Structure 1
Amino acid sequence: MDSPLGVALSAEDFGLKGPRGWAFRGVGFSARPGSLIAIEGDSGSGRTCLLLALTGRMRSTHGHAEVGGVRLPGRLAAVRRFSALGPVPGVSELDPSLTVGEHLRERTLLRHRFDDSFRSLLLSRARRTAAAKDVADAALDAAGLDLADLPKSERTQVRDLERLAALRLSVALALTNGPGLLAVDDTDLGLGATDRASAWELLRSVAAAGTTVLAVCTEAPEGSLAVRSRPGNVMTAADGRTAGTTDASDSTDADADAADTDPDADPDADDNEKGKADAIAEAGRA
């Protein structure tokens, strides 16, 4: 696995408005490389759209963001080159019919397909295979997934994985290219208190190793920069949980209330689910 170098993130009045209203708006925060950034809110509040926009998978319509020195919404492809998606429903889900080993081999093949460096071309097939195994092993170790602990080791099908193990596998696959930014959706969905704590411990360790982590959740953990959704999909950053790792510009409740009564707002702006669906449908055309 390549040595990751985390990227800085910032946003100013960042938003996305589709035909049926806002997916998210008013996002403003600043985070240093290696930060753990938690996008906190209820389902349908625009959390996933914001995650996809900040990783170059969806084009925003208002304000701007800067990811690793690349300004958005301008250079989406540049951001995609150094960002990786963990589990994102409907975008980068694991195939339940495949085994863990098949997922790892598939990722290895994809990595070779897009690694056209001169150094890689000089390696023999045996050395490429050995290097790929080293990459996979390092990624699995970083994600805390021990294949020996699975019911059938690498032959375990994804549908038979516990939720936390599936999350670890998704993170491991995303880490194989040594991204500067790792994005994870629905981090705490379906997890009990113990597994939820383990999931956040995993993401903290990834961030501590140098990769910036962007994670969607219903409740941000201690030590993270929490970007919280507000009524009307205005998002504000709160630095009360950052433990000195980031700087955040916090909007006020009055700002959120004012946005709710904006006379120029789309009449369907409160239809969060529809706005999110529109934005996801348009992601491929960004």
Structure 2
Amino acid sequence: MATLKATGLTKRFGGLTAVRDVGFEAKPGEILSIIGPNGAGKTTVFNLLTGFLKPDEGTASLDGAPLAGLSPESRCEAGLVRTFQIVQPFKGLSVLDNVVMGAMLRAGSVKSARIAARQVLVDLDMVSLLDVPAGSLPIGDRKRLEMAKALATQPRVLLLDEVMGGLIPVEVKRMIAFIRGLRDRGLTIVVIEHHMSAVMQLSDHILVLQNGQPIATGTPEEVSRNPEVLAAYLGPNFALAGAVAC
């Protein structure tokens, strides 16, 4: 497992500064959540970390090794893996074959990739969907498939972009338990999520963005009581006890 560190990440698109001076350190066996309103720059941060965008300023490193200059594919090979908010499975392939595509990164053969992929799907309680075409899945199962594809690459750091969007409450509970299990195995996890109950239950630390800039960082309890966060995002009536009740 690995430590992911970002320092002063800044990204401009013409006259718009989408991300300004974002920094954090995510360590093995911890979950860091990045929250904030729509347009706060959360996914842009993920794109900077994973090489889909180049920062105008700032740096990112994996276990102290700079990520600058590495392609998204090279970062994946190094163990920095992400899911995408808008899922795009290989619709014509089965669920199993979708996950095999991820497993081929580490596997020495198609046979071993299929074995690894099947185990990931067992862990995610998706074994009944092995032969189902990915294009026929409802959004909740597509989100789980997105997670499975990422896990099949055997990541050291896992970036999750709204993996609970579209899930029904029982699926959210199951996903929370699964992500906790990944953390307990020592994986480094960074989460973007609007589901505040899940965020408050999962997070060891939370980074709050507004208009691309950090406005607060701390534990769930600290963030949930921060006046600036309440005004900008959570709302004045937000209560931590209610958020962790489900």
Does the alignment reach a TM-score above 0.5? yes
Is residue 2:118 matched to residue 1:137?
Answer: yes
Q: CA deviation at 1:48?
A: 1.0
Is residue 2:136 matched to residue 1:155?
Answer: no
Label 1:46 to 1:191 Cα distance change in 2 as closer, same or farther (>3 A): same
Aligned-residue Cα RMSD (Å) equals: 3.1
Q: CA deviation at 1:174?
A: 1.3
Partner residue in 1 for 2:25: 30
1:80 pairs, out of 53, 76, 84, with 76
Label 1:242 to 1:204 Cα distance change in 2 as closer, same or farther (>3 A): farther
Partner residue in 2 for 1:226: 206
1:174-185 paired onto structure 2 within 5 Å:
174-185=150-161
1:1-286 paired onto structure 2 within 5 Å:
6-72=1-67, 74-77=68-71, 79-81=75-77, 82-89=79-86, 93-108=88-103, 110-111=104-105, 120=108, 128-142=109-123, 144-148=124-128, 150=129, 154-218=130-194, 219=196, 220-224=199-203, 225-230=205-210, 232-241=211-220
Query: Aligned with 1:182: secondary structure?
Result: strand
Matched to 1:146, the amino acid is M
Query: Aligned with 2:164: secondary structure?
Result: coil
Q: Deviations over 1:209-228 (max 9, x none)?
A: 22212221113233412121
Q: How does the TM-score come out when normalised to structure 2?
A: 0.75
Q: Deviations over 1:114-145 (max 9, x none)?
A: x6xxxx4xxxxxxx444223211232234x13
User: How far apart are the structure 2 equivalents of 1:66 and 1:130?
Assistant: 34
Kept in 2: contact 1:26–1:236 (CA 8 A): no
Q: How does the TM-score come out when normalised to structure 1?
A: 0.66
Q: Deviations over 1:222-248 (max 9, x none)?
A: 341212112x221245222399xxxx9
Higher relative contact order (CA 8 A, sep 6+): 1
Partner residue in 1 for 2:237: none
Label 1:141 to 1:235 Cα distance change in 2 as closer, same or farther (>3 A): farther
Query: Aligned with 1:80: secondary structure?
Result: helix
Higher radius of gyration, 1 or 2 = 1
Q: CA deviation at 1:84?
A: 1.8
Paired-residue identity, %: 20
Label 1:145 to 1:166 Cα distance change in 2 as closer, same or farther (>3 A): farther
User: How far apart are the structure 1 equivalents of 2:17 and 2:173?
Assistant: 32
Matched to 1:173, the amino acid is K
Query: Aligned with 1:155: secondary structure?
Result: coil
Question: Structure 2 regions of 5+ residues with no counterpart?
Answer: 233-246
Q: CA deviation at 1:172?
A: 1.5
State how many pairs are aligned: 221
Q: CA deviation at 1:204?
A: 2.0
